[in-house]
């Protein structure tokens, strides 16, 4: 079940992000940042156990630009479509807020291509996007792939 994250989910989100950060497949987020941006997150809760097994954030960057970030799924639940469902939900939310451009910085470009994202040069992103990057361990040698999806209101599906 996908739902908006609540305060009790922060530790589970943090654990998921830390797991993939250790594998260098995702950038870690400190707990303080997760609390600051909790309203950005959707989580997938396992209906059998109530455990949060996936998360995805949608962060607004500018009047027409948002980022899908911190997409992670518990490895025991990989291959069940949870990452895809969370990505779809973030895209739906972007439509709801009338975002025109949606981007991601990812180590898994093939995954985002399935949703209509295309590789772009990082220089196409506004400087404001890079404010988080200065605290990254990989700065200034970012090895993530920048991808963009143009959103058209006529393509919007309702958030369900």
Quickly name the fold that domain 2-155 has: Aminopeptidase (3.40.630)
Q: Contact at 8 Å (CB) between 112 and 61?
A: no
The predicted structure's pLDDT at residue 63 = 84
Q: Confidence band (pLDDT; 50, 70, 90) for 95?
A: very high
Q: Confidence band (pLDDT; 50, 70, 90) for 133?
A: low
Q: Contact at 8 Å (CB) between 103 and 65?
A: yes
What percent of the chain has pLDDT above 70?
85
Give dist(CA 41, CA 129) in Å, integer: 18
Find the Cα–Cα–Cα–Cα dihedral 153, 108, 68, 142, rounded to 10°: -120
Asked if residue 142 has pLDDT above 70, the reply is: no
Q: Report the pLDDT averaged over residues 118-141.
A: 67
For 22, 30, 52, the CA distances from 97, given in Å and listed in that order, are 33, 27, 25
Helix (H, G, I), strand (E, B) or coil at 121: coil
Q: What is the pTM of this model?
A: 0.88
Q: Report the pLDDT averaged over residues 134-144.
A: 59
The 10s digit of each residue's pLDDT in 4-36 is 999 999 999 999 999 998 988 888 888 999 999
């Amino acid at each position: 079940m996908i739902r908006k994250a609540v305060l009790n989910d922060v530790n589970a989100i943090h654990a998921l992000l830390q797991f993939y950060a250790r594998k260098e497949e995702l950038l870690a987020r400190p707990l303080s940042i997760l609390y600051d941006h909790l309203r950005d997150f959707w989580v997938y809760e396992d209906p059998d156990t109530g455990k949060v097994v996936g998360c995805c954030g949608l962060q607004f960057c500018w009047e027409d630009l948002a980022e899908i970030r911190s997409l992670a799924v518990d490895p025991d639940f990989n291959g069940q479509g949870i990452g895809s469902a969370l990505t779809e939900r973030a895209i739906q939310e972007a439509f709801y807020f009338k975002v025109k451009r949606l981007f991601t910085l990812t180590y898994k470009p093939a995954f985002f291509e399935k949703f209509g994202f295309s590789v772009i040069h990082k220089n196409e992103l506004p400087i404001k996007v890079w404010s988080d990057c200065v605290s990254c361990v990989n700065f200034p040698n970012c090895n993530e792939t920048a991808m963009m999806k143009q959103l058209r209101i006529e393509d919007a599906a309702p958030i369900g």
